[in-house]
Structure 1
Amino acid sequence: MDSLSPAKIIRSRRRTISLEITKDAVLIVRAPLRAPDTSIAHLIREKQAWIEKKMAEVRSRPVLQKKEFVNGELFQFLGKTYLLEILSGSDAGISLGEKLYVGEHRLPEIRSLLQTWYAQKAKEILPARVAGYSAILDFRPKKIRISDTRRRWASCSTSGTLSFCWRLVLAPPEVIDYVIVHELVHMRQPDHSPRFWEKVRSAMPDYEIRKAWLRENERMLDL
């Protein structure tokens, strides 16, 4: 596939075509339901230099090394780093204290155990943080869902459901809050127009710093 060919074209009731470079350096196109393919292709050609620049930027960012799940390996939670300690002869599941602990006998399933643990933490942490900013913005979602998406940190449905990737709880709280505010504002402002960013800034004046951190470090937030 040509590097400038979109990996996916997502159509919805939006008004404009937008281009997105994911954390894996692939192109995603978001387009109106009836936008012709020729219009999409024209925009991609027009924005070729921008696309190539953004892809190069993404490829230059830190990449997570493959986890080996051994004693002393580093894991992130809420922006802090914890050493993994394997408990000899134990059947214990995942627990967090000064270190991240797991029983030796659970090592064959440790990746799935960690995913489940992080997802549960996301279910515990995110709704309360959403509630706080919902009160500030007066945008209240009908439902909050924790998902396993890889291409997006969060999304907002037309029915009022906010979906968050469980990997988000690896990030610092202030970065989590930026993603929350971003999606809450999308409940009233579906595009990324100047009006959208004005609303984000009104709730979070330093959002650009948080956004930049996520952009630079997002490939590190995984297992």
Structure 2
Amino acid sequence: MLTIKLNEHIIQCYVVYRKGKKVSITMDLPYMVTIKAPNGTSDEIIQQLVEQHGEIILKKSALMQQALEGPQAKDYEEEGSGKFLLLGKEYALHELIKVDGLSEEELRANLKKFYFAECKRVIGVRIGPYQQQLKVKPKSIDIVESPTKWGSCSWDKKLTFNYRLAMAPPEVIDYVIIHELCHIHHMNHDRSFWRRVGSIMPDYKTKEDYLMRNGRAMTL
């Protein structure tokens, strides 16, 4: 294990030596990377490699840290409630649900019901064409609450989607739909899985980045 300082951050580097000539870096956790390098690669070369990719490592680490911290609760006070996302656009609370005479607890409960219904509606509308393209059919589709997952696919082809997806732009919702439908045939994240996802949505990585950057804002 190597420790390398980038700006004010310490990067933990787990190095795996192997045959071959290629070097690769993958992110495991915030400020922690795995480096696969040819046998005999010196610590100095590995440090140079990490420093060369320092900006990307720090940026992705910050996004991963935000994702791990989970969604940030909003303020429901009349003067400070701010904006709430729906399909990637911001709305005042009263534009989404009735607010007159309701407590914060009632507002939050009603808003959650609104998002559950919207997520179910949007998923129902958008999933059909992708089922046809991928030639798959889930056994069931449910909308759930999850602090960490945007969607899931069980071994028996049951799909679930996080109600907070209703806050994301339609193209990001499409990515999660495609992702989970592809899991019906590929239960892990191997190369075949990502090739299938990419065949339907070549720029899927930009949608992943959106969820990492904005996940904390997609909340009640």
Q: TM-score scaled by structure 2?
A: 0.66
Instruction: Find the counterpart in structure 1 of residue 75 from structure 2.
Output: 67
Tell me, in whole angstroms, the C-alpha distance in 2 between the residues paired with 1:179 and 1:172: 11
Q: CA deviation at 1:191?
A: 1.0
Tell me, in whole angstroms, the C-alpha distance in 2 between the residues paired with 1:55 and 1:211: 14
**Contact 1:69–1:84 (CA<8 Å) still a contact in 2?**
no
**Contact 2:149–2:162 (CA<8 Å) still a contact in 1?**
yes
Query: After superposition, where does 1:180-219 map in structure 2 within 5 Å?
Result: 180-219=177-216
Q: Confirm or deny that 1:58 pairs with 2:64.
A: yes
Q: Confirm or deny that 1:166 pairs with 2:148.
A: no
Deviations 1:166-223 (A, max 9, x none): 0111000000000000000011011111111100010111111111111211111111
CA spacing shift, 1:56–1:207, aligned 2, 3 Å:
closer
Instruction: Find the counterpart in structure 2 of residue 100 from structure 1.
Output: 96
Tell me, in whole angstroms, the C-alpha distance in 2 between the residues paired with 1:185 and 1:198: 10
Q: CA deviation at 1:66?
A: 3.0
Secondary structure, counterpart of 1:145 in structure 2: strand
Paired positions, count? 165
Instruction: Find the counterpart in structure 1 of residue 3 from structure 2.
Output: none
- Name which of 76, 79, 98 aligns with 2:88: 79
Tell me, in whole angstroms, the C-alpha distance in 2 between the residues paired with 1:200 and 1:60: 25
Query: After superposition, where does 1:88-127 map in structure 2 within 5 Å?
Result: 99-108=95-104, 109-127=106-124
Q: Which amino acid aligns with 2:191?
A: P
**Contact 1:70–1:84 (CA<8 Å) still a contact in 2?**
no
**Contact 2:119–2:163 (CA<8 Å) still a contact in 1?**
yes
Secondary structure, counterpart of 1:103 in structure 2: coil
Q: Which ranges in structure 2 are unaligned for 5 or more consecutive residues? A: 1-26, 31-56
Q: Which ranges in structure 1 are unaligned for 5 or more consecutive residues? A: 1-18, 26-51, 86-98
From the CA coordinates, give the structure whose radius of gyration is larger. Answer: 2
Instruction: Find the counterpart in structure 2 of residue 143 from structure 1.
Output: 140
Secondary structure, counterpart of 1:106 in structure 2: coil
Which structure has more relative contact order (CA 8 Å, sep 6+)? It is 2
Q: CA deviation at 1:132?
A: 1.6
Q: TM-score scaled by structure 1?
A: 0.66
Q: Percent identity?
A: 35
Q: CA deviation at 1:101?
A: 4.1
Q: Which amino acid aligns with 2:148?
A: R
CA spacing shift, 1:69–1:163, aligned 2, 3 Å:
farther
